[in-house]
Amino acid sequence: MGRLTVRRPVLHLNADGSTRSRPDTLVAEEPLELRVGGKALSVTMRTPGHDVELAHGFLLTEGVIGSGLDLAGARYCNSVDEQGRNTYNVLDVDLAEGVAPPDASVERNFYTTSSCGVCGKASLDAVKLKTRHSPAADPLRIGRELLLELPDRLREHQKVFGSTGGLHAAALFDADGGLLAAREDVGRHNAVDKVLGRMVMDGRVPATGTVLMVSGRASFELVQKAVMAGVPMLAAVSAPSSLAVELAEESGMTLVGFLRGRTGNVYTGAERIELR
């Protein structure tokens, strides 16, 4: 069902001015067309693997479904390459009886790139979605020392990144630091959708009492996805955007950025972090 990595020859430029030819490992990037009831909904560039989780997470964070009970099934369609082999790049999901189909605001007018899941929205007014699982009242508390350990715990599960250097990662931890799910993908939003999709499939939405740790920056979109799943805390190794902080504050979510080494910035919801 697709390869995670591919090997390509490169000309390596050495520090001493010499060159040499050697193979290099690249992360795979392929399109996935998501259909609902046979109707095309979105195309995203992703790293193959965990596609059903990706579909569950995407539909949850777009407000199409609220739990796994809202889906009746998922199957790959017969999308073939030049050699007649199934590419496993078209996934069709069926909604459960009585679940309303996606409205036009969810549809993408353009391809969704691996770096942006909001690009191509039919209407920017639809970007701020209303969650069925508000994290505002979540009683999560996490110790400062455990919070500081989460980037290293995430890094332990970035196996493909170790060989390619070209993947984002996301992981969901419980209040004791136990790993619930970890996924890698060329797209940061896809990695989060795969993790949250796993929670949907496991019946763990709303994801109360959890911390979502991401390897890159905390964008508005990632905060929105976490809010839609009821995640009370999002932590990132890099910076948040101003709109991400605003949304986290409005939603009652704890947002932590620049979490690396022994330091970090708490932008919202500091009361959930036990400082001593």
Catalytic residues: 116
As a whole number of angstroms, the distance between CA 108 and CA 119 comes to: 8
CB-side neighbour CA atoms (13 Å) of 47: 26
As a whole number of angstroms, the distance between CA 276 and CA 268 comes to: 18
- Residue-level length of the chain: 276
The 3-state DSSP class for residue 12 equals strand
Q: Residues 53, 194: contact at Cβ < 8 Å? A: yes
Torsion sign, CA atoms 103, 105, 106, 108: positive
DSSP character for 266?
E
Q: Residues 226, 253: contact at Cβ < 8 Å? A: yes
Q: Residues 251, 130: contact at Cβ < 8 Å? A: no
